[in-house]
Structure 1
């Protein structure tokens, strides 16, 4: 967008990737920047690959803009373009029209295909991938800023840990939180706890803590609390697995004489949560954590391979194993 704002406009743009929210935000911004609102009805055409006729495309592409310097054609679902369609469209490279811009949008675009390689070479290709777990806080902050939403760092971290790298669910939670706190009001960690269903009684910290102390009945109760809130069993196992992995990493950091901020950054958690991780990490042996991860891995495999009928049995056995290893 910075290039376009400076007047450096390319004839071809390819915007693709599985991360639809940032991808579509860019597409929307590009349309606004490239086609003035007052002439958009005349100079913006949106086409879809599955219904694309190459001859019709060129009739639009070669049409002179009306009351504007250029026109924009948006071609969506690029991954659905057939080989014949791509061959036909390649003519734009030989005879590009100076007053037309082509914006191709897709999800899983195969950049090995000649058409997309050439498109990228002659224009600009931008890929949007879903964030990794450690990138979720930054993703949330960018999204919130774009929406004009204020969100506290502790709320960002809590929401990141609860939802994980699932942009669609993150956006849904942000929308619910905005409705809860009111437009223009900041989102706090307390609001996340109330809206996202993360309560003190059913936090991943408490579940891991109960398992570490061998408190099987309490661990079962907290696990059932997760599930009653609509949490998928595999997701609950994944949350505890990630927590155990962070505890192992925390054990390795404790003896390194790092500042608290540095340790929090290394773990990828907010400083607000660091004391809890350190306290749990110091109380557990590395051997116990590794054994726990092994049991969690086995439970994850069984949940995915044995179906819903075995969920309660698998989870009961998991809690029993983890508590025995205390």
Structure 2
């Protein structure tokens, strides 16, 4: 089942006896667990029918014993096993999964790992229609912009493509961090607002003028003055503009320019699909490709690799990150 399917069922009060939630992305695991914790039982019912166990402090037999208890003055009892990846002999849980108690909702948080599909536990979960097995996969950086748009749409907001990319570049793929920042916007802005760079700067603190996205545009346009203003700002604000993610973003940018050079069908839709960007940004890559032919693009990528190593101390003893970035941008643009 997908995350949306699970949440929809829960909202419709369709409960399963077992939710085995595993994978590298804790955000969705926490969301499902918290929804069950906060919505299935009343506060009065929780007094006798709600328990949280931790993998480090529990053994699997104790978990099974808790799951086999009947609820008291309620239709359900909830047992949440957190840090399940730390518990010993978790495969033994398969004996319970084969025939779980219908009045128990057992929620297992198996974070940052996935079950071995060859094990009895996975086979038991997969076979039992009363068990939900959900793998929460870490999102790729390229998936984040669409997820931001989707999240805001669910809340009744929209966002322009440039602002989406700005957030994605600065917040990375930590969904919990992204949601915290997006919720700041939804609190202060009225519903149906189309979020733009000004909203982001005012409420989240990401400058609309001095950011890696504007740096990419300056480099693409061969606007030396604008590029210098931005990298000087970065040099003075290294805590907010660390050189390593800046180089990483520029590396991705030039990699897509190189891909653009070798796309035969240069139509907007095909380019967007091939290099993995919004159609809105295809014109930017087209311009960059005109200013940086394939040879210059390969040279820029080589420089970015070299300065990535220097920024991490390789063949660099004393040059400050700000000075390294200035050197790098000068060499790319000249």
Q: Please, which runs of 5 or more residues in structure 1 have no aligned partner?
A: none
Deviation string 1:165-222 (CA, Å, 9 cap, x unpaired) is: 232432233134335535774422432355442433545344563487484x754442
Structure 2 equivalent of residue 315 of structure 1: 325
Partner of 1:105: 109
Question: What's the offset of the Cα at 1:49?
Answer: 1.0
Question: After the TM superposition, which residues 45-194 of structure 1 pair with which residues of structure 2 at under 5 Å, given as runs?
Answer: 45-54=51-60, 56-83=62-89, 86=90, 89-93=93-97, 96-112=100-116, 114=119, 116-118=121-123, 120-121=125-126, 122=128, 123-146=131-154, 148-154=155-161, 155-179=163-187, 181=189, 185-194=193-202
Match of 2:22 among 16, 21, 27: 16
Cα distance in 1 between the residues matched to 2:206 and 2:54 = 40
Distance 1:108 1:202 in 2: 32
Match of residue 209 from structure 1 = 218
Correspondence for 1:256: 265
**Contact 1:241–1:296 under 8 Å retained in 2:** yes
The correspondence of residues 213-232 of structure 1 with structure 2, limited to 5 A, is 213=222, 215=224, 219-227=227-235, 228=237, 230-232=240-242
CA contact (8 A) 1:16 1:106 kept: yes
Residue of structure 1 equivalent to 2:249: 239
What SS class does the counterpart of residue 246 from structure 1 fall into?
A: helix
- Contact 1:150-1:187 at 8 Å conserved across structures: yes
CA–CA distance in structure 2, aligned partners of residues 257 and 59 of structure 1: 63
Is 2:35 the partner of 1:29?
yes
C-alpha distance after superposition, 1:256-292 (max 9, x if no partner): 252x355444444344433333222222211101110
Distance 1:170 1:205 in 2: 20
* TM-score computed with the length of structure 1 as normaliser: 0.81
Q: How many residues align?
A: 318
Counterpart CA distance in 2 for 1:286 and 1:37 is 64
Is residue 2:296 matched to residue 1:288? Answer: yes
Normalising by the residue count of structure 2, what TM-score does the alignment of the two structures yield? 0.79
Q: Distance in 2 between matches of 1:247 and 1:320?
A: 19
Distance 1:100 1:107, change over 3 A: same
* Counterparts in 2 of 1:62 and 1:225: CA distance versus 1, 3 Å: same
Q: Write 1 or 2 for the structure with the bigger share of helix.
A: 1
Q: 1:92 to 1:167 in 2, by over 3 A?
A: same
Q: For the structure 1 residues 115 and 11, does the alpha-carbon distance in structure 2 shift closer, same or farther, using more than 3 Å as the test?
A: farther
Choose the corresponding residue for 2:287, options 276, 279, 286. 279
Structure 2: state its 5+ residue gaps.
Answer: 1-5
Query: Partners of 1:95 and 1:213 in 2: how far apart?
Result: 67
3-state secondary structure, aligned to 1:200: coil
* Structure 1 pair 106–28 and aligned structure 2 pair: CA distance change class (3 A): same
